[in-house]
């Protein structure tokens, strides 16, 4: 991946987040059950993690299961949880060997105890790895996350440990699931949909958004590189202006 005007490699964004969309449509277009699309989606996760490591990305966040996904048919949710178990058991050794740190953000209270145990073990095993941090948003909803952070601030005020006048953006950020994770520079959504679906709403304030038509099971390293190339074509202003519009 190089700049079109010179031979120097493009510097990757520090943090790329991906809304993985299109598993169901991928399966439907092939006359397969949705589960087949989700299984192929796991392959795309594996490719993308490897690509992110190769490209020098520091943080990769994937939106794997939203708080709203709990409303899907019970059989589909059960299949997704089984896939999650499979991933946590079969992939963690490879992630660890390749220097990937795993972080899981979201509401763990709705997950079964065995899955929470697998997550804890995976996070503990990989906690010192530094090549890439893979953040998995699981049972995650951004409005819920912000609400919980606001509630924590309110509880501190009620306890007398925080003055309301001292509440700031930084203090709220420190109470989010992503407190020690940098905000994303680039958010990619697959499948052609153009919305962010309650994903990292606070953290995405100045992220560049790139929407691609590729269905998630077909997402490749080249798709990731193309999104990064589009990122580099943007002029990032962070709320400032340059005098022209």
Binding residues for substrate: 22-26, 34, 38, 66-68, 70, 72, 189, 195-197
Measuring CA to CA, which residue among 183, 164, 172 is closest to residue 238?
A: 183
Q: Is the alpha carbon torsion for 100, 202, 183, 191 positive or negative?
A: positive
Measuring CA to CA, which residue among 151, 143, 138, 134 is closest to residue 201?
A: 143
Decide: residue 5, CB within 10 A, 0-12 exposed, 13-18 middle, 19+ buried: exposed
Out of 3, 43, 69, 218, the active site residue is 69
CB 55 within 8 A of CB 225: yes
Whether 21 is catalytic: yes
Whether 124 is catalytic: no
Out of 3, 6, 21, 180, the active site residue is 21
CB 201 within 8 A of CB 143: yes
Report residue 157 as tokens. Answer: 């005020």
Q: List residues forming the annotated binding site.
A: 21-26, 34, 38, 66-68, 70, 72, 189, 195-197, 208
Q: List residues forming the annotated binding site for Mg(2+).
A: 21, 208
User: Given the structure tokens 């919980």, which residue do they identify?
Assistant: 148
CB 212 within 8 A of CB 192: yes
Give the active site residues. 21, 69
């Amino acid at each position: 991946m190089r700049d079109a005007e010179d031979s120097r490699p493009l510097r990757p964004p520090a943090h790329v987040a991906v809304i993985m969309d299109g598993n169901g449509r991928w399966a439907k277009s092939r006359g397969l059950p949705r589960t087949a699309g989700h299984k192929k989606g796991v392959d795309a996760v594996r490719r993308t993690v490897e690509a992110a490591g190769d490209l020098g990305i520091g943080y990769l966040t994937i939106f794997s299961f939203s708080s709203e996904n709990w409303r899907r048919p019970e059989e589909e949710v059960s299949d997704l949880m089984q896939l999650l178990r499979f991933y946590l058991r079969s992939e963690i050794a490879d992630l660890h060997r390749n220097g990937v740190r795993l972080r899981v953000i979201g509401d763990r209270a709705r997950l079964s105890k065995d899955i929470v145990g697998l997550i804890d073990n995976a996070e503990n095993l990989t906690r010192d790895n530094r090549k890439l941090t893979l953040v998995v948003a699981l049972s995650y909803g951004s409005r819920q996350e912000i609400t919980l952070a606001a509630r924590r601030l309110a509880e501190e005020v009620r306890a007398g440990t925080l003055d309301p006048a001292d509440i700031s953006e930084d203090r709220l950020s420190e109470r989010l699931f992503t407190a020690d994770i940098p905000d994303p520079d680039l958010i990619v959504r697959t499948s052609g949909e153009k919305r962010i679906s309650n994903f990292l709403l606070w953290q995405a304030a100045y992220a560049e958004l790139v929407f691609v038509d590729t269905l998630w099971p077909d997402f490749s390293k080249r798709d990731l590189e193309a999104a990064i190339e589009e990122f580099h074509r943007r002029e990032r202003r962070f709320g400032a202006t340059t005098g022209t519009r």
